[in-house]
A and B are shown apart, each in its own frame.
Chain A
């Protein structure tokens, strides 16, 4: 979205009035299939899923309407509450920890570091991996009998315990660890790009006034990075709500359903447990969650553009 404002301020694209009618319609013709696809596969499917969520569909979609019955069932479903609570815990920890690590690494990397490029590459590569690969690797590292726990014990700390993967109270935090490993480097890259965009002279002026470096960062640099924080929160929250692969590969939702998230709940009910109606209702609530984050974001984005 970098260039939108400059284009608005600059010359408007030329009107097609000088061209023959056919040429004037060509751009619309080119866009038409994409618009049709979007209307059908995005908006149509959302509506379709909403309609399914109002029916008693089980194995196959049926159109026997039961009003908001499926939503009521969802609210009484203990597994759904576990999944939603897990998303709250996972989502908030994931977002906050990624932000802290991302800001910290970006600020340290901004201190004219030797080999900055190599370090940046190392921090960011996990983002190129599939969440399935990440899940498989961390499942191996967190495996109590052969992974980190066994390794630390072999160093002589016999009573060391790190068996979160098989502990229903702690398993959700293993998802946080793996997801932070994968995405925090990306947040670092966002902040580094933001830092590089700040005018050096502001920082120099503050330093000449005698402010210490941490103080300069806290008082001068951080406020400039507010839009980056905003975008990062929005992207990370979005990743958290959509998290499905990582759960499947790392914990399989287990032990029991202790590490279920709404995305795995939806898939399990719609595809494996012949509960299409209930699965659709949970999908609609996920959409609601995304919209709840997205709408304030778009609103502020549009507003700042209009004023700025």
Chain B
């Protein structure tokens, strides 16, 4: 009897060990590229050619980082990715704020002020989440030209707002649908108006969905490359475009450490957001895809 129990616990232990091994191996698979990127970015070039990917840096240096930030060549110019890093912020911040505000008002109007056809309006807008953006690139280029904002940061803000409101509206609509209507009805009977009800009743409970929407839009727009490469000029490029140019500029010796430092710089803002607010990030990713 005791023997049987011991055998069972042994089997249980072995399977437990197997489970943990697989999980840890998987963690290594996901972490290694980041570790290699970080290590490479602080190695001098001589160490890179002498060692391998996993050789620890012997004389860590921040020189590749300063070069990537301020001196490395991205295409024709050699002023690093620093300026483009701020470009990205200059595009992302207004685009996130505007698209989130519009999304919140849309979601509110669609759920608390339903009218004949409001479901149709929602379905109509939702489709914008799914189109491949290749199908809007050429008309967009021409429209931006007509508006006089082609190759400008304002143009990129417009593009990101236009194609972001489908997502933000979806987030807020699905969130506000779950907020009871009783309070809103009572306020309406008291004669409170559209904006007053939004400001006093809906907005105070909206913090979680605002965080989800801001994080989602921030990562989407920060990580965008297609619109950035299609609708920007030398001085208005976002950092993803500058990074790609830096890596593909083929003059002189390939400086892999500078490439990796630039990649880290481009990745840091979204990584920081993910580490600080991972829960909301996941919620944004899974919004509308998991039915409760």
Contacts and interface: CB of A to CB of B under 8 A. Distances in A.
Interface of A: 1-4, 6-7, 10-14, 16, 18-19, 23, 26-28, 30-31, 33-35, 37-39, 41-42, 44-46, 48-49, 52, 61, 101, 104-105, 108-109, 111, 113, 119, 121-134, 136-141, 146-148, 150-151, 154, 181, 185-186, 189-190, 193-194, 197, 227-228, 231-232, 234-235, 238, 241-242, 244-245, 248-249, 252, 262-263, 266-267, 270-271, 276, 279-280, 282-284, 286-287, 289-290, 294
A146 B30 contact: no
Interface stretch (B58-66, B199-207, B258-266): B258-266
Interface string B1-43: 0000000000000000001101100110111011011001000
Given A140-B37, A283-B134, A128 B270 contact: yes
A46 B138 CA distance: 10
Given A13-B181, A294-B130, A27 B142 contact: no
B222 A27 contact: no
B208 interface: no
Contacts of A27: 109, 113, 115, 194
Contacts of B290: 2, 190, 193-194, 197, 228, 231
A231 B181 contact: no
B235 interface: no
Nearest to B246: A136
A52 B138 contact: yes
A244 B256 contact: no
B134 A190 contact: no
A287 B114 contact: no
Contacts of A181: 29-30, 33
Given A30-B105, A49-B138, 9 more contacts: A41-B140, A121-B278, A123-B30, A134-B33, A139-B247, A146-B49, A150-B52, A245-B226, A283-B132
Given A38-B166, A49-B139, A12 B114 contact: yes
Contact of A133 (B106, B111, B229, B263): B263
A60 B185 CA distance: 55
A127 B132 contact: no
B271 interface: yes
A3 B177 contact: yes
Given A267-B134, A290-B130, A128 B106 contact: no
A18 B22 CA distance: 62
A11 B288 CA distance: 22
8 contacts: A3-B292, A14-B181, A190-B286, A194-B290, A252-B248, A279-B138, A284-B135, A290-B131
B240 interface: yes
A11 B181 contact: yes
B206 to A, nearest CB: 14
Closest 3 CB pairs of A and B: A27-B113, A130-B223, A128-B274
B125 interface: yes
B53 A147 contact: yes
A235 B287 CA distance: 12
B87 interface: no
Interface residues of B, number: 101
A136 B247 contact: yes
B54 A151 contact: yes
B152 interface: no
Contacts of B266: 130, 132-133
A129 B224 CA distance: 10
B223 A16 contact: no
Contacts of A126: 30, 33
B37 A35 contact: no
B72 interface: no
A124 B115 contact: no
Contacts of B40: 140
A26 B193 contact: yes
Given A4-B174, A31-B121, A113-B23, A235 B289 contact: yes
B92 interface: no
Contact of A125 (B115, B229, B274): B274
B193 A34 contact: no
A234 to B, nearest CB: 8
B137 A270 contact: yes
